[in-house]
């Protein structure tokens, strides 16, 4: 298959994925009444930006989402449909970013798979239909990751400035964006360790000065980017917003670690309806995650290849570690929505590795087995994910409180 035809097929597949993602998010968007937290959003969005900022600071929130809603209702009105549509738009942006990130990091196959996994995941769909900030949080994280990769790779100031701005937007959307910034820091340190070690070993013996010279450009530029973020975020800090974080109680009841990890895994892979639509496809998730940790036999095994492979893995694991450390349990699962993007990229890489895996005998029919396995895994997972749509829309356990009654 020539390159042009392959690109056209990929574009067609992406359009189909995007249309499906739009359809399942727009369906019955205003069927449920505005519930209490959405009522708070409506109230704050109707106020002036200055007034809403003062009020959210006292309620352990940050103002950017409410400012966005304030501007939106000035254009589109304040109906339930139009206000929830903002979350639909941000969720669709996350689908597009999943494709772009998967393609940039690994390849077209990974991007398409990651986008499809988000498109039908009921965790993503649920918060795409809610008048709250979580869909925006995930989209901003995806955009920040794009410029973070570009900055780490090329060390261009333009990318660094945009990264600092997006990190500021993220931390002004929800405080838990800091989880993602911790993951950024972990991967930046890992990259500096890679390049420093490479320079150390480049000559006979250990040349510490060479290692330091190699990592210094990344170290000081990344430090400068984070200082710029801190500068941009300082007005909110001086306003006293973050000072109230410790006052807000954690009211999530404790659950056993095994149960919590099972819930998180189910939500990230299939969505909040995972108990009803996972079926026997959990093994396919593990298969793709394992393949997502492999380097293809004939691929380059340089530091950049390893770093890209570890990026979505670290994002998931760091966010999960912080979440567990804070003992947020089941009540605050929505804080992990950005990690669902990383989980989809991890699974998407598994699809990509499996799809391009070469068998020992390339002239035999067995060369098609890896592609067949990858296709079966993706189709099976998407089919089971689609089975979660009906319970998401109609099962009372997935419905918000009805304030119309």
In the chain, what are the domain boundaries?
30-243+252-398
- Reported as type and span, the H/E element at residue 122 is helix 122-128
Instruction: Write down the pTM of the prediction.
Output: 0.95
Distances (CA, A) of 333 to 38, 64, 120, 127, 327: 18, 21, 18, 11, 11
What is the pLDDT at residue 247?
Answer: 55
Distances (CA, A) of 296 to 12, 105, 290, 324, 372: 27, 14, 13, 33, 17
- Integer-rounded Cα Rg, in Å, for the chain is 22
The full DSSP string for 374-403 is HHHHHHHHHHHHHTTHHHHHH-GGGPPP-S
Distances (CA, A) of 48 to 53, 60, 70, 75, 316: 9, 18, 8, 15, 37
Q: What is the pLDDT of residues 138-175, one digit of tens each?
A: 999 999 999 999 999 999 999 999 999 999 999 999 99
- Alpha carbons 86 and 72: distance in angstroms, whole number: 8
Instruction: Report the b/e string of 54-93 with b at 16+ CB within 10 A.
Output: ebbbeeebbbbbbbbbbebbeeeeeebebbbbbbbbbbbb
What is the pLDDT at residue 202?
Answer: 65
> CB 138: neighbour CB atoms within 10 A?
34
Distances (CA, A) of 112 to 92, 118, 370, 375, 391: 14, 10, 17, 12, 26
- Alpha carbons 135 and 400: distance in angstroms, whole number: 17
CB–CB of 119/15 below 8 Å? no
The full DSSP string for 216-241 is HHHHHHHHHHHHHHHHHHHHHHHTTS
What is the pLDDT at residue 197?
Answer: 81
What is the pLDDT at residue 14?
Answer: 97
What is the pLDDT at residue 245?
Answer: 65
CB–CB of 387/277 below 8 Å? yes
- Alpha carbons 328 and 37: distance in angstroms, whole number: 19
Residues in the chain: 405
- Alpha carbons 70 and 72: distance in angstroms, whole number: 5
What is the pLDDT at residue 248?
Answer: 66
pLDDT tens for the chain, residues 1 to 405:
677 888 899 999 999 999 999 999 999 999 988 999 999 999 999 999 999 998 988 777 899 999 999 999 999 999 999 999 999 999 999 999 999 999 999 999 999 999 999 999 999 999 999 999 999 999 999 999 999 999 999 999 999 999 999 999 999 999 999 999 999 999 999 999 998 887 777 665 566 776 778 889 999 999 999 999 999 999 998 887 766 665 567 778 899 999 999 999 999 999 999 999 998 899 999 999 999 999 876 767 788 999 999 999 999 999 999 999 999 999 999 999 999 999 999 999 999 999 999 877 766 777 889 999 999 999 999 999 999 999 999 998 888 776 655
């Amino acid at each position: 298959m020539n390159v042009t035809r392959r690109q056209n097929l990929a574009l067609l597949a992406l359009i189909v994925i995007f249309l499906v993602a739009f359809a399942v998010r727009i369906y019955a968007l205003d069927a449920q009444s505005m519930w209490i937290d959405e009522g708070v959003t409506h109230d704050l969005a109707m106020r002036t930006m200055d007034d809403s900022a003062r009020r959210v600071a006292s309620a352990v929130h940050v103002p950017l989402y409410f400012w966005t809603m304030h501007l939106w209702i000035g254009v589109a009105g304040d109906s339930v449909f139009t206000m929830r549509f903002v979350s639909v738009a941000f969720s669709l942006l996350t689908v597009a970013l999943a494709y772009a990130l998967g393609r940039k990091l690994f390849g077209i196959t990974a991007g398409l798979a990651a986008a499809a996994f988000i498109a039908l995941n009921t965790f993503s769909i649920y918060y795409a239909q809610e008048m709250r900030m979580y869909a925006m949080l995930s989209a901003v994280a995806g955009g920040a990751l794009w410029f973070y990769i570009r900055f780490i790779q090329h060390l261009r100031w333009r990318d660094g400035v945009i990264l600092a701005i997006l990190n500021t937007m993220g931390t002004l959307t929800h405080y838990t964006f800091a989880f993602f910034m911790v993951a950024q820091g972990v991967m930046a340190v890992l990259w500096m360790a890679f390049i420093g070690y490479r320079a150390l070993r480049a000559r006979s013996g250990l040349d510490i000065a060479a290692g330091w010279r190699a990592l210094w450009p990344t170290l000081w530029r990344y430090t400068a980017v984070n200082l710029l973020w801190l500068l941009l975020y300082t007005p909110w800090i001086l306003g006293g917003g973050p000072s109230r974080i410790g006052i807000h109680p954690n009211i999530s009841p404790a659950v056993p670690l095994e149960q919590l990890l099972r819930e998180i895994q189910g939500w990230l892979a299939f969505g909040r309806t995972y108990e009803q639509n996972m079926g026997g496809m959990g093994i396919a998730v593990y298969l793709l995650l394992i393949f997502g940790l492999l380097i293809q036999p004939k691929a380059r095994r340089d530091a950049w290849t390893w770093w890209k492979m570890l990026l979505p893995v670290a994002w998931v694991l760091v966010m999960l570690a912080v979440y567990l450390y804070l003992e947020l349990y089941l009540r605050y699962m929505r804080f992990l929505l950005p990690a669902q993007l990383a989980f989809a990229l991890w699974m998407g890489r598994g699809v990509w590795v499996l799809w391009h895996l070469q068998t020992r005998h390339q002239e035999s029919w067995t060369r098609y087995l890896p592609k067949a396995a990858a296709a079966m895994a993706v189709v099976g997972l998407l089919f089971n994910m689609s089975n979660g749509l009906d319970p998401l829309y109609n099962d009372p356990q997935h419905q918000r409180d009805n304030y119309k009654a």
